[in-house]
Amino acid sequence: MIDLRLLREDPELFRAGQRRRGESPDKVDELLRADESRRAATQRFESLRAEQKSLGKQVSKASGDERAALLARTKELAGEVKRAEAETTAADEALRKAHLAVPNLVQEGVPEGGEDDFVVLREVGAIPAIDNPKDHLEIGEALRAIDTERGAKVSGSRFYFLTGVGALLQLALFNMAIAQAVEHGFTPSITPSLVRPESMEGTGFLGAHASEVYRLEADDLFLVGTSEVPLASYHSNEILDLSNGPERFAGWSTCYRREAGSHGKDVRGILRVHQFDKVEMFSFCRPEDAVAEHERLVAMEEEMLAKVEIPYRVIDVATGDLGSSASRKFDCEAWVPSQGRYREVTSTSNCTTFQARRLNIRYRDEDGKPQTAATLNGTLATTRWLIPILENHQQPDGSVRVPKALQPFLGGREILEPTTKLAANA
């Protein structure tokens, strides 16, 4: 949620933010009206309650006609208080709905525009010269590492099995990611995949992208699309001790996304699937430290990409392609030889105080006064990383070279050798 006090002081700042996102500023005006209505309703309720209490004291001291008049007013006032309380409750609900509809303020310097208007900040690594590169699925099937045919048979389209060296490769990648995170002071965490509605709403995933979320209606629980959700909610309704700097987590989880609206897009292989695994970084910090923490998370992602020896670029995502919680977002995109293009493999967002205000996560400042914390998130490794790893390190004989930094996590294995495909069962 945005800061209502700042909204009252400078509503045009938020209207401009909406326009930068390519959205209508009307939501800001609706929020202003809802805020004004809530404050008016609250003031009326409190005024009537104060009169009710005052009358109670007067009745005990009055007698005769005066007492009768006061009792009549007390009875009349009871109905007014009840109606005012109902109006206050309704105003509170309307305010919350309007408040949830306004996205975070965009940070200064974010490029304007939509999905294709990002700015490339840097390109790192030499693009390999591979004649007629095979794609990750062809390589994975030859290695008996990826099986989408049986994934579809068991679960439907956009599901898969990682088998043999495929499973080992993902485990090696994730273990290397966790080891790096621990080395940099992150607390490793294996997080729940099911969360309550308030956790999903608090992180901003029940807004524009609610259609991509799986819900278990019988239990009123949601399957997470990232461990950002449980990690953000880990400290909900708490006051943190940030006196020694940010609190950082690295969450390992299985993630689920419906991929609504992406029918027919990237259906081959494991690029866009319904279930995958991910190691996600998450930081709680003071708002004034958020920009530096954002750069730190990007550096962590680049360190991982360097370890797997993949060419990549870092982009500054444009305003119209930011999620509702993000104030700024940087993506790392890895080179995919079979497509001759870069594809997203990491994303890291500075959510400032937006999520923490929803989840009531605070810290104490130098004067001991509670203040809203800032939150940030960033990808450290996902199943999707197998795509550029397999494709960029493919060899002419069909084998795949294992990046040196990854070899210790694969038992010292330097090469992944192709083998015959699993025999089809009758």
Task: Give me the CATH number covering residue 172.
Answer: 3.30.930.10
Share of the chain above pLDDT 90, in %: 82
The answer to whether position 112 is within a domain reads no
How many domains are there within the chain? 2
The answer to whether position 113 is within a domain reads no
Q: Quick one: pLDDT at residue 33?
A: 94
Q: What is the pTM of this model?
A: 0.89
Same domain, 77 and 140: no
Q: Report d(CA 61, CA 71) in Å as an integer.
A: 12
- Residue 425 in this model has a pLDDT that exceeds 50: no
Same domain, 355 and 391: yes
Same domain, 222 and 316: yes
Same domain, 60 and 126: no
Same domain, 81 and 225: no
* Residue partners of 169: CB distance under 8 A and separation at least 6: 145, 162, 386, 389, 410, 416
Q: Quick one: pLDDT at residue 262?
A: 59
- Residue 140 in this model has a pLDDT that exceeds 60: yes
Look at residues 54, 73, 100 and tell me which one is the last residue of a structural domain: 100
The answer to whether position 66 is within a domain reads yes
Q: Quick one: pLDDT at residue 59?
A: 60
CATH number of the domain residue 55 falls in: 1.10.287.40
Interior angle at CA 410, CA 409 and CA 413, nearest 5: 130
The answer to whether position 60 is within a domain reads yes
Q: Quick one: pLDDT at residue 225?
A: 94
Quick one: pLDDT band at residue 424, thresholds 50, 70, 90?
A: very low
- Residue 265 in this model has a pLDDT that exceeds 90: no
425 against 183, higher pLDDT: 183
pLDDT tens for each residue of 240-249: 999 999 999 9
Q: Quick one: pLDDT at residue 142?
A: 95
Same domain, 78 and 139: no
Same domain, 168 and 293: yes
The answer to whether position 135 is within a domain reads yes
360 against 69, higher pLDDT: 360
- Residue 260 in this model has a pLDDT that exceeds 70: no
Look at residues 43, 71, 100 and tell me which one is the last residue of a structural domain: 100
Mean pLDDT, range 195-215, rounded to an integer: 87
Mean pLDDT, range 197-226, rounded to an integer: 90
Q: Report d(CA 186, CA 180) in Å as an integer.
A: 9
pLDDT tens for each residue of 57-105: 666 666 676 667 766 677 777 888 888 889 999 999 999 999 999 999 9
74 against 140, higher pLDDT: 140
Interior angle at CA 417, CA 415 and CA 422, nearest 5: 150
Q: Report d(CA 201, CA 218) in Å as an integer.
A: 18
Same domain, 130 and 96: no
Same domain, 90 and 200: no
Quick one: pLDDT band at residue 48, thresholds 50, 70, 90?
A: confident
Same domain, 253 and 394: yes
- Residue 345 in this model has a pLDDT that exceeds 70: yes
Q: Quick one: pLDDT at residue 76?
A: 73
Same domain, 165 and 81: no
Q: Is residue 146 a contact partner of residue 136, using CB atoms and an 8 Å limit?
A: yes
Q: Quick one: pLDDT at residue 136?
A: 96
- Residue 197 in this model has a pLDDT that exceeds 70: yes
Q: Report d(CA 92, CA 109) in Å as an integer.
A: 35
Enumerate the active-site residues.
257, 272, 344, 347, 384
Same domain, 158 and 231: yes
Domain range for 14 is 4-100
- Residue 53 in this model has a pLDDT that exceeds 90: no
What average pLDDT is seen over the chain? 92
Q: Report d(CA 311, CA 328) in Å as an integer.
A: 23
- Residue 55 in this model has a pLDDT that exceeds 80: no
Q: Report d(CA 385, CA 334) in Å as an integer.
A: 8
